[in-house]
């Protein structure tokens, strides 16, 4: 690249164009935040494996735009327009390198964000990104959702929970729904196998207090293939039994 490192007028052009296609308008300041996020991701990835995707354009499309695809779907379900101007406490479970949580936070700065992951190095990276980008009302918590979901500080405390590429759906909902307050939502990013996963997860969704409201096929700009975003509304209290510990959600999913 011949452009200045953080010149949003000449960088992140694919992100800006793709975001507009999704209905998300990014300001120059937000493009600058995405640029700095990318630079931090690549720097940390040299010493600690955060992602297999590091190409400049690929990160914009496969990480940033893919993450942003959930924003208009959640806004539509809430009956609001973008940017979301109502208070919303969102937890991103198994966030890894911060997807989709950090892109959503950059695009929707009024969101109160909690990034949850079990790996200490990833939490260190995420905290550095929060500090470098000056993201207010953003925090990290290290731990497994199946454990934190039983603690009063996290159980039923969130307006929305997100997850991307974490586990099969019938396992994943046991991690996510205990964290969501009643009338809140789980926003789950899935690949082309989502319809089949949904069939296998219908019982688990109901047992855990959820009700599927939408399964939306989405086309991510500059990315081939179809993705799905599943929106589950929490309509009943999750039974105290869940989430089960000792990896039972993965070993013995609700069927």
Tell me the pLDDT tens digit for each residue of 103-144: 999 999 999 999 999 999 999 999 999 999 999 999 999 999
What lies within 8 Å, CB to CB, of 186 at 6+ separation is 160, 161, 162, 163, 173, 176, 177, 180, 210, 230, 231, 232, 234
Per-residue pLDDT, 2: 37
CA angle 68, 152, 144 (to 5 degrees): 55
Among 58, 81, 2, 71, smallest CA distance to 30 is for 71
Phi-psi region of 228 (alpha: psi -120 to 50; beta: other; left: phi over 0): beta
* Contact (Cβ atoms closer than 8 angstroms) between residue 78 and residue 84: yes
Give a three-class secondary structure readout of the chain.
Answer: CCCCCCCCCCCCHHHHHHHHHHCCCCCHHHHHHHHHHHHHHHHHHCCCCCCCCCCHHHHHHHHHHHHHCHHHHHHHHHCCCCCCCCCEEEEEECCCCCCCHHHHHHHCCCEEEEEEECCHHHHHHHHHHHHHCCCCCEEEEECCHHHHCCCCCCCCCEEEEEEECCCCHHHHHHHHHHHEEEEEEEEEEECCCHHHHHHHHHHHHHHCCEEEEEEEEECCCCCCCCEEEEEEEECCCCCCCCCCCCCHHHHCCCC
Which of 165-169, 170-174, 235-239 shows the lowest per-residue confidence on average (mean pLDDT)? 165-169
Cα 156 from Cα 91, distance rounded (Å): 11
* Average predicted confidence (pLDDT) for the chain: 94
pLDDT-derived band at 5, boundaries 50, 70, 90: low
Region 96-103: what's the mean pLDDT?
98
Among 224, 187, 227, smallest CA distance to 100 is for 187
Residues, the chain: 255
224 has a pLDDT exceeding 90:
yes
pLDDT-derived band at 87, boundaries 50, 70, 90: confident
* Contact (Cβ atoms closer than 8 angstroms) between residue 240 and residue 79: no
Per-residue pLDDT, 9: 54
List domains and CATH numbers for the chain: 67-251 (3.40.50.150)
Per-residue pLDDT, 11: 82
More confident residue, 9 or 67: 67
What lies within 8 Å, CB to CB, of 252 at 6+ separation is none
pLDDT-derived band at 63, boundaries 50, 70, 90: very high
Pairing of strands 88-93, 210-218: unpaired
38 has a pLDDT exceeding 50:
yes
Per-residue pLDDT, 3: 41
Region 10-21: what's the mean pLDDT?
92
* Contact (Cβ atoms closer than 8 angstroms) between residue 213 and residue 233: yes
Per-residue pLDDT, 7: 59
Per-residue pLDDT, 246: 84
Rg value, the chain, Cα? 17
- Tokens linked to 118: 């079990």
pLDDT-derived band at 4, boundaries 50, 70, 90: very low
Q: What is the percentage of the chain residues whose pLDDT exceeds 90? A: 91
């Amino acid at each position: 690249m011949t452009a200045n490192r953080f010149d949003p007028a000449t960088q992140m052009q694919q992100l800006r164009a793709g975001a507009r296609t999704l209905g998300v308008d990014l300001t120059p300041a937000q493009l600058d935040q995405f640029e700095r996020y990318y630079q931090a991701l690549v720097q940390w990835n040299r010493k600690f494996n955060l992602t297999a995707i590091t190409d400049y354009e690929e990160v914009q499309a496969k990480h940033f735009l893919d993450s942003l695809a959930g924003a208009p779907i959640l806004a539509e379900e809430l009956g609001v327009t973008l940017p979301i101007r109502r208070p919303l406490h969102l937890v991103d479970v198994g966030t890894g390198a911060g997807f989709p949580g950090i892109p959503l936070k950059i695009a929707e700065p009024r969101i109160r964000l909690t990034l949850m992951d079990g790996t200490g190095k990833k939490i260190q990276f995420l905290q550095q990104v929060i500090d470098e980008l000056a993201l207010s009302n953003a925090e990290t918590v290290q731990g497994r959702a199946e454990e934190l979901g039983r603690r009063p500080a996290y159980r039923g405390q969130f307006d929305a929970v997100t997850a991307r590429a974490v586990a099969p759906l019938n396992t994943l909902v046991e991690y996510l729904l205990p964290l969501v307050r009643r009338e809140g939502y789980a926003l789950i990013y899935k690949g082309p196998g989502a319809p089949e996963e949904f069939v296998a997860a219908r019982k688990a969704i109901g047992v855990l207090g959820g009700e599927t409201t939408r399964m939306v096929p989405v086309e991510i700009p500059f990315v081939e293939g179809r993705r799905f975003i599943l929106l589950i509304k929490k309509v009943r209290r999750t039974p105290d039994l869940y989430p089960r510990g000792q990896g039972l959600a993965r070993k013995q999913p609700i069927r």
